[in-house]
Chain A
Amino acid sequence: SQQGEEDPQALSIQEGENATMNCSYKTSINNLQWYRQNSGRGLVHLILIRSNEREKHSGRLRVTLDTSKKSSSLLITASRAADTASYFCATDGGSYIPTFGRGTSLIVHP
C-alpha cells in the first residue's frame, strides 16, 4: 500500500515564488525521501531526511519532518520554470524499502 500521500495534487505558481508541498504518512519510518520527476522520465533523488532529523537543506530546497504528526514538507524557494515537474515523497514504513505517494504536479510559469 502507498505509505505517503502528497498534498496538493497540483500546484501552479509564478517564477520567483516559493512552492510548498506536503507529505503525510501512516506508520513509523526510518527515513523519508523526496524525489523529482520530469515528464515520463526517471525519478531523481533530492533529499533524504532521517527520523531523528527535523530539517534539512539543499540549495533552494528545504525539507522538514514532524514525526509526531507523521508529516513532511518540501519547500522550493525562488522557483524557476525548470522546477516544473512532479514531486514525490517516499517513506520506508520501517522496512528500509521506500514506497511512493501519488505525487504533486508543480507548474512554474515564467
Chain B
Amino acid sequence: EAQVTQNPRYLITVTGKKLTVTCSQNMNHEYMSWYRQDPGLGLRQIYYSMNVEVTDKGDVPEGYKVSRKEKRNFPLILESPSPNQTSLYFCASSMDSNYGYTFGSGTRLTVV
C-alpha cells in the first residue's frame, strides 16, 4: 500500500531530551515536507526537501533539524525540545509539483 509512515504516533517527553520522529514513504517521491499543526494556526511548514541531500527551511524551522540521506526517509530531529514544540506533526511526500501530497497519520508530541 502506498503510504507515508510516521513514528511514533504519540510521544510525551521532557524538556531538553533529544528526540527523532521518523518518516518514511514507499512511493519513490522526490518531495518531502514536515508540518506542525496548532489550534488556530493551521499547518505551518518546518522543513522541506526536493531531493536527496537537499533540504530547505520552511516558515518555522527554529529548534528543528532534518536530514535526507535516502529518498524514502526524512526524519525530524528535535535536539533540545521545549514546551512550545508541543504540537501535532505531519510528514508529507509528493512525486513533484504536479501532484498533491500524501500525508502521514501524524505524531502528537507533548513536551513537559
Contacts and interface: CB of A to CB of B under 8 A. Distances in A.
A48 B105 contact: no
Nearest to A96: B97
B15 to A, nearest CB: 24
B42 A42 contact: no
A17 to B, nearest CB: 25
Interface in B32-55: 33, 35, 40-45, 48, 50
Nearest to A43: B103
Contacts, number: 67
The main secondary structure of chain B at its interface with chain A is strand
B101 interface: yes
Contacts of B104: 42
A100 B103 contact: no
Nearest to A46: B100
A88 B50 contact: no
A57 interface: no
Given A97-B45, A102-B40, A45 B106 contact: no
A100 B35 contact: yes
A40 B88 contact: yes
B1 interface: no
Given A41-B106, A42-B104, A97 B42 contact: no
B100 A41 contact: no
A41 B101 CA distance: 14
22 contacts: A2-B44, A2-B59, A30-B97, A31-B98, A40-B88, A40-B106, A42-B4, A42-B90, A42-B104, A42-B105, A43-B43, A43-B92, A45-B100, A88-B42, A92-B97, A97-B31, A97-B33, A97-B48, A98-B101, A99-B58, A99-B59, A100-B43
